[in-house]
Structure 1
């Protein structure tokens, strides 16, 4: 994301996972660690996706150490696409590598990455659980995400042409889960990334 980004690999269930870590500027002790998941690998999704980078910038602004990573089969991450199941294993492997920091954990994802985030979060129990989740443009149409805690932040574009807003509302409704709608905004938040970053920061406090 910038010259200070640390790029490394961690061990995953299908081999090495490519990871990018950014430290919050001017902060001695990070508020927590945010692990962020990218959109669908078969449609060009990577950890360098602009929406994922915008999410990372929001968390850096709030004092979090941010960790982006490539799912299996993307970049130099080993393995092959597994429709979300193996990808949730990948996410949990990255989380396990971050547990050594002792920092509070938050999880975030965009599109397919948001779907995978819900699957992985549901598998963390007790003290291992994430403090909070951020789901941006979650993929709710083709496969149903797991249910999420009531304080989860969900942001969706009104004119999303990849995942219709109605699909996300149908998923959220039985959980009584609020969804923040950005009017006139499509799936990739073109021209709206600064607004998205501001909205994430405002929603988190």
Structure 2
């Protein structure tokens, strides 16, 4: 009996340590982040690469400098793609399994990492309008997020702390429903 109690105590202690390690990793990503333009890939170039991969053409003007952010904008159903790939500031808050990501102009995304599912009936989509949806999962120190924007496309996002927590690496695969190929890019953020 005494042996069982000591084994139970050891197992309980290990579980508590594992749980606190997981929440410490999740909390280390919390904060305000600003994109590092020098270390990040250019969003416009990534969009052009996707257009070319899908067999499209990119207009070239050799005599005029291209405007930065030229592919930003479009229908409201695609707003989440712009927020992920163009907004310079990302604010992250975590409360248990709920993650809150804030972007420019008060745009926010809330998703959960506890495996909860969502059911939507077709009538909901037409009656109430489609909504962006995302879900996440932690694997060690990396947060994986899969999103379903309102346009019916998808996002695959990977958030990893680098440089001893001073920077956040975000690998993105963005596939709007009307694109023939996914936009792939990496953004590096500095902790503010």
Larger radius of gyration: 2
TM > 0.5: no
Q: What TM-score does the superposition give when structure 1 sets the normalisation length?
A: 0.25
More strand by share: 2
